[in-house]
Structure 1
Amino acid sequence: MNATYRSNSAGTCCLSEMPILRARKVNAEPPKPPIPVPLVSEVPLVGGISTAPQICNGCKESKILAVAGRIAQSVSHDLRNHLTAIYSNVEFMSESRTTDVEREELREEVRAVIQDMTGMLDSLLLLAKTGQPPYPRLGSLNEVVEHAACMVRAHPDARDVDVVIQNVAPVACWMDSTKLGSAVYNLLLNACQAARLGLAPRRVEVTLAEDHRLVHIRVVDSGRGVPASIRKTLFQPFVSTDKINGIGLGLSIVDRTAREHGGYADLEESGQGRTVFGLHISKYALENLTPRSQP
């Protein structure tokens, strides 16, 4: 329909069919729907190659690298301590006053430490090969604690310190025994280093217990206590006191292991002659770490 024009009082022409214009707007072509944003899996690279595999692989590789970094930090820290123990034992074996019986005991300690180091490196190799850390296994926490105590006794910082396992109730659960062993080892070594700075008799005690919800590993030392200035940051990396040869990674490894097992680590008590650290693990989280193929 054509619009008609008429003159107004000023002698100018104007459009007289405004309703027709409104009708044209109403009957205009409806707006086009928004262009859908393609999914990540639909976004192509130049040449039509989908980026989805690259993105997925990149995320997977990033996760693997993050896990590898955490394991490497823990392993490198523990290897350093084990190498210190080997060096110390070799020096003792070379002394003329060392008896044949003592040399044999020192050799056994070195052999056990080397086997422990091999296990740590195997965990890194497994991660590099499969992209997965070792699966949790059903095992005895008592054996983990006893093995960690044996390894600590070989360290020079444990010399002249009596390491005792007390009131250890039998506890079996699903766990990453390598990580938990490292955590207990670092707790015990930290306690021995603290006890050496305290008064005699220098003593470290470890207990293992459980209730309906948690497994509790507690380590008590006879040292001088933790300075108040670092208690709030004690479980952060590279926080250390004036301990012998301490670099401040041991307790951060303990804290991370506890959280990975659904629990927590804490400083329960600190004072002259008695300091208590706790490693508390959720029993339910340990069960959830069970491989799916297991019954």
Structure 2
Amino acid sequence: MLNTLSGRFLVLTIIFVMLAEVLIFVPSVARFREDYLLSRLERAQIASLALLADDMISPDLEEELLRNAEVFNVVLRRDEARQLILSAPMPQSIGATFDLRDASAFALIRDAMTRIVDPEPQVIRVIGDPVRKAGLLIEITMETSGLRRAMIDYGLRILLLSALISVVTAMLLFLAVQRFLVRPIKGMVRQVQTYAADPEDARRIIQPKSSLRELRQAEDALAKMQSQLTSALKQKERLAQLGGAVAKISHDLRNMLTSAQLFTDRIELSEDPGVKRLAPKLVNSITRAVHLCESTLAFGRVEEPAPRLERVCLADLVSDVIDSERLSVGDHDLSFAEDIPADFHLRADSEQLYRVIFNLVRNARQAIIRSGAPGEISVAASEDEEQWIVRVSDTGPGLPPKAQEFLFTPFQGGVSKGGTGLGLVISQELVRGHGGQLRLRQTGADGTVFEICLPKGDLNALTVPQRDKAAP
């Protein structure tokens, strides 16, 4: 029960009510003691008035008066004269004197607590004002055992009543919390559990109906979140179905376009002037279509293998990339530069790293050729204590604003006409598979710089446990 909200609330209510009653108990007992002593002063005064009315009172009657007043003697001061009115033998000497005429609340509480704690009986002197100003003061001596018993009985009654009040109050609050708080919260929990069983079913979205403002706000927020999640899941399912359809269409279309590309190779051999003029455009259109299909299929392959990490000589890998790209330059004034030490090694999947660097160099080459201006592409490498850094920079025209905004967004970050923007997306995924980052360092009229940052590890370990790669 203590691990429930209502159970803890019940226990805390009992504790707090009892604490409040204890705070009331202390001054109540002090007030009871004061009233008890004042009543003894009043009884003693009445007994003394009987004696003053008849000086010839018998010793037996005097003893009875003192016994009824529960005192040993009575001293009454009238007209500045102190007079012993009634007296009886005392079992022991006076142990303490208490003046009730100007006692402070703190003194009354202190004396009351001291009397309850001290079990030893004691004879005390009590001084107070006579009733109806029948003298200057009245003074009595009395034994404290009766006073202590009366105080304990009164305190036990107070504590018993406090316990009863606290239990009844706690039960009422428990029922109120169950009705107005716990029950609505349990209802929300059941709604969440029901929705979690099938979040794509819009009928399971919670319907806000609580009359409590705070719970109504929580239900409204939950309903909004569930509605957004249901819509997102439905959209995700539609996109997955659409992606599967696009992959199938792209696969078949690529095969058809590949066949068409073979026919265009023969068309280019025609001597007809019109055919010679239109054939290059046809070849370029078919080539772009084939590239689009291949990029879409590559992006849709969620089973991209995890990187097989090994010791890679970066200089050899970059040299292969640049040698391949030089064949595509043609007559354009474009040069390549390598700033990589011959003994520069890093840990990576050589095939995947080749694809990343090749994609960056190819993009730079295409941008420079489209600009029509001469340019240079440079690949450099450096390292620090934590990572290896490979920089691919060019002197091209820079990336347009739209390409920068959607740089790593599929089908939106393309720069060239007919491009898909998948090259950088796939490259980024490959670098992330290595635990690294692919980022645009700078771009502008002076050129563009991309950085590949790969984390360091034990270079002597040729392979490491492979990670599962998330679907792009």
TM norm structure 2:
0.32
Higher relative contact order (CA 8 A, sep 6+): 1
Larger radius of gyration between Structure 1 and Structure 2: 2
Structure holding more helix per residue = 2
TM norm structure 1:
0.49
